[in-house]
Every structure is written in structure tokens, then in C-alpha cells.
Amino acid sequence: MRGVIVPLVTPFNEDYSIDVPALEEHIDFLQKAGVHGIFINATTGEKYIVTFPDNTVIFLHPVAIAGWVGILVTFLNLIPAAQLDGGHIARAFLSDKMHRYLTMAVGLVLIGMSFLWVGWLIWGMLVLLMGSVGNPGALDEVSPISKKRLVLVILAVIIFLISATPRPLWVTG
């Protein structure tokens, strides 16, 4: 091995027990450096839980950000309006007239939510624009909806509600 040998400073004694004063000093150092929430040697360290102060910025791992974007896109696609997937699901249960009313109502609600996030204004206008074109409707509007499809609709509504967020993006400062 070549190069500089860096000594490791750990909060453990020679007998592998925790050196409490060294651990407290280590935690204070990490807090001052901006680290929040550490685990010591696969334990949760209940005695040394580091809490988040107000307005703490949490940096997510890129995989977590990708997952969040996927959930956001799923939510937006399940909005029950116009040509979105949620609109097609709603159209399977509603008449053309009721689907148009629902699309207009959803568009207006999204515009009304623009005080939470300005992006809802854009989405509301897009929904109203897409809703003005109309929906071709289902190929079979006579047959009743099967129980299997009803379960899938309930699942889609649950996914929509779980993935919903009134303020998906914001800037602090």
C-alpha cells in the first residue's frame, strides 16, 4: 500500500464498546457539518437521535428523485379529465355530457389550485384545452362494466389518491 495512511477516528474503545464522550463529540461535529440522522454500527442509537431543525433541506438520492418523478407523472396521468388515462377511465363510466362537465370542473379546480403551485395553472389550462376537443368514447357503451374492471378502477383511484400532492415543486429562500 502506498500513499498517506489516514488514521480512522471512531467512537469505539479498544474493547469495541462505545466511547460515549467521543460519540457525543463526533455527533456534534457531524451536526455542525450539516449531517442529520446517523446510525452507529447497525444500531439506531436511540439515545443519540439527531432531530431535524425547521426548514431543513433534505437532499434526495437520484434514485429517490426518479421514483418521485414517476409518482408525479402517474398522478398527473390519472387526473380524471379529457384524454388523460384518468379521463378515459372516467369516460368508461360516464356519458359524454357528464365527462365534459367533469373535465371542465377538474380544469377549473386545477386553475383554482394555482395559489399552491403555479404549475396547476398550466395543467388546468391544458385540461380545458384538451377537454374542448371531446372524447371519442368507448367502443361498447351498452355492456355493463365487469367486476374485474370495477376493481381496476378502484385500484386506479387509490393510486391517484396516494400519489396526489397539492404542491409537487417549490423553491425555498
Query: Is the predicted pLDDT of residue 173 greater than 60, yes or no?
Result: no
Query: Is the predicted pLDDT of residue 46 greater than 50, yes or no?
Result: no
What is the spatial distance between Cα 130 and Cα 128, in angstroms, rounded to a whole number? 6
Mean pLDDT in residue range 50-69: 78
User: Phi and psi (nearest 5°) for 113?
Assistant: -80, 0
Q: What is the SS3 assignment for the chain?
A: CCCCCCCCCCCECCCCCECHHHHHHHHHHHHHCCCCCCCECCECCHHHCCCCCCCCCCCCCHHHHHHHHHHHHHHHHCCCCCCCHHHHHHHHHCCHHHHHHHHHHHHHHHHHHHHCCCHHHHHHHHHHHHHHHCCCCCCCCCCCCCHHHHHHHHHHHHHHHHHCCCCCCCCCC
Confidence of residue 37 (pLDDT cuts 50, 70, 90): low
Count of alpha carbons within 13 angstroms of residue 125, beta-carbon side: 5
Mean pLDDT in residue range 2-25: 71
Higher pLDDT, 51 or 63: 63
Which of 4-13, 136-145, 158-167 reaches the highest mean pLDDT?
158-167
Mean pLDDT in residue range 87-98: 88
Confidence of residue 136 (pLDDT cuts 50, 70, 90): confident
